[in-house]
Structure 1
Amino acid sequence: MYDKYLVTGATGFLGRAVVEELARRDAQVRALVLPDDPYAHLLPEKVRSIAGDVCDKDALASFFADADSRTCVIHCAGIVSVASRPGPKLYQVNVGGTWRILRQCIAHNVGKMIYVSSVHAIPEKPKGCLITEDCKFSPGLVDGDYAKSKATATDLVLDAAAQRLNASIIFPSGIIGPGDVQGGSFTSMAKSFLAGRLPFAVRGGYDFVDVRDVAQGLLACCERGLPGKGYILSGHYATIGRMLQMVGAAANRRYRPICLPLGLARLAAPSYERRSLRAGKPLFFTPYSVSVLGSNGQFSHAAASACFAYEPRPMEETLQDMAAWLLR
């Protein structure tokens, strides 16, 4: 283990899982937390919080104070969006924030840097082909603003690694599981489903992974991940209908939404997104999310399994725990 861990995005879904696991291991943790973050109180008591964000040069100077070769930096901070027009802040945080973190890591000669990218940064292969992390990263090779921002940031990290920064990258697939207090796309969908307020879903599917497995894999990568190397942390492929069926079985719910064909979902998504934005509702049904559910969702975690024994738990276990958490 390292003497101390600096974690950005520590109150996010994955960031908090990472920080909680580090606290269980009695590690010294420093968390970068947005000013007035409503979830800051959920962090373990032993974690030291620094107010600021990844776009604030002065805040990062305080965050990196006394960082050295025995420091591991875990960069979880980022904006995840399925919106058609996410706005300029997406790039300011996902790309500009990552660049600032890298500059600090290089200046302080930190021992290790882990960047949390996304499988969306990886160019899609034709259906039937297994997707791996051995590829070129460029915004021109992926679709959607979120994917483009993560591909751009990933390329920045690889450039820094080429300059001898000991940086590794993880590429989680769709992160799900208990504890998502901020309500990501599938969490919001599952919550609506359990409340009987989800009239329809989409027939497509994707690869989803338990947040706890990603946190464990990330920390294993801190110790054994190779410099300049990326690792897909995927879980299991499932259709949305099958996932809701498992959530329903865990919660003893018989209600089932109508599953729309992808073609019909593509036609309905723009209008649904506009209505959701006007009503201030969570976005989980948008043109981008429908496109993802119709894409190739077959990802290989063989590299992570070989390097640091990564192995995701069964999806049934994840969804049972998630349903129990949502109904608590």
Structure 2
Amino acid sequence: MIVVTGATGHLGNNLVRALVKRNYRLRCMVLTGESLEPLQGLDVEVVEGDVRDIESLYKAFDGADIVFHLASIISLLPGNNELLEEVNVRGARNVAEACLTTGVRRLVYTSSIHALVEPPMGQVIDESMPCDPEHISMAYSKSKAKATLEVLDVIGKGLDGVIVMPTGVIGPYDFKPSATGQMLLDYAAGKIPVRIGGGYDFVDVRDVAEGQILVAEKGRTGEKYILSGEWMSVDDILQEVSNATKAPLPRWKIPAALASAVALMITSYCMVTGAKVLINHDSVSTLRGNSLISSEKARSELGYTSRPIRQTIRDTLDWFGERGWLKTR
């Protein structure tokens, strides 16, 4: 029996699909009242649970051989620090403790590349970088660093656990959709008239799902594995959207020096109106920061591979189009 927390999320439902194809017996843990659309048509058992409620975890993990822990809060809004602490940090600790208590054979915890302290520009980011919350400024990233340390602490007490660290996840079956997916939709629809400089290491969500399974099968206890794809500039991403949808490219480009100020104004607007935050000061910093990321450890030890992101973008847009979400100007 395999249990997946956060099973309805973007990465979660892609992992579930990959596991279903392998004919694993699956139990998907979801929040009460959560939409089950991402799991529709999949042969899985669904149970309700909350990472903040350890008793619900005992029930969900009963009889489980492997637990994939993906449930977390991804927030670009300021002021959500307590929720990030409750769900991402204490929730991860609860999951790890529940795995140890119920006799789960292996835990695969999905952390983030942002849980690692970013080295100076030009220095390769790999698993040797420390998870030190005191040297990480972004609230979400700090929470994932803390959570990683909590899981490692329980591993030190006897839990067989492994940690995966994806980069910028993008791809199909993006039901909510994610901030990156929504940005593709908005650019295609002409809702974002400007572009910003920079770029990042993006990875196909399906490749991350396959990587998680490889980690479960071959990963070494207590180790971290970065699952990355390839660096791509914002301009190149928009060009791919334009090529696929015939939407014209935004005419104006915001200089890097002004991008953070503009992002701050956008965040303030979203806080007032309730609109979804797609970019903030932290994400602008990420686009301008060190993206020299290596997944050589996962590739050499596990046989991990990743596909070209240009194909991923087209697959994602095709999936949005099939659902009738892709509106072009």
Distance 1:227 1:43, change over 3 A: farther
Query: Structure 2: which amino acid aligns with 1:299?
Result: I
Query: Structure 1: which amino acid aligns with 2:212?
Result: L
1:54 aligned residue (39, 51, 56) = 51
CA RMSD, Structure 1 to Structure 2 (Å): 1.4
Q: Distance in 1 between matches of 2:128 and 2:153?
A: 15
1:269 aligned residue (263, 268, 272) = 263
1:223 aligned residue (217, 223, 237) = 217
Q: Distance in 2 between matches of 1:121 and 1:45?
A: 32
Residue 152 of structure 1 corresponds to: 146
1:8-36 deviation line (CA, Å, top 9, x unaligned):
00000001001111111110111110111
- Map 1:223-262 → 2, pairs under 5 A: 223-262=217-256
Secondary structure of 1:66 counterpart: coil
- Map 1:22-61 → 2, pairs under 5 A: 22-40=19-37, 42-61=39-58
Alignment check: 8 A CA contact 1:241 1:259 kept:
no
- Map 1:1-328 → 2, pairs under 5 A: 4-40=1-37, 42-67=39-64, 71-328=65-322
Alignment check: 8 A CA contact 1:177 1:319 kept:
yes
Following TM superposition, the consecutive aligned residue runs of length 4 or more in structure 1 with deviations greater than 3 angstroms are none
Secondary structure of 1:327 counterpart: helix
How much identity, in percent, do the aligned residues show?
Answer: 34
TM-fit CA distance, 1:38: 1.7
Query: Structure 2: which amino acid aligns with 1:285?
Result: I
The aligned length equals 322
Q: Distance in 2 between matches of 1:98 and 1:170?
A: 13
Alignment check: 8 A CA contact 2:61 2:98 kept:
yes
TM-fit CA distance, 1:111: 1.3
Q: Distance in 1 between matches of 2:57 and 2:153?
A: 21
1:111-157 deviation line (CA, Å, top 9, x unaligned):
11100000000110111111001132121121211011000011111
Secondary structure of 2:66 counterpart: strand
- Unmatched 5+ stretches in structure 2: 323-329
Distance 1:154 1:322, change over 3 A: same
Query: Structure 1: which amino acid aligns with 2:31?
Result: L
Larger mean Cα displacement after TM superposition, 179-188 or 189-198: 179-188
Distance 1:16 1:96, change over 3 A: same
Distance 1:41 1:136, change over 3 A: closer
TM-fit CA distance, 1:6: 0.8
TM-fit CA distance, 1:286: 1.0
Q: Distance in 1 between matches of 2:250 and 2:8?
A: 33
Alignment check: 8 A CA contact 1:251 1:324 kept:
no
Larger mean Cα displacement after TM superposition, 169-178 or 34-43: 34-43
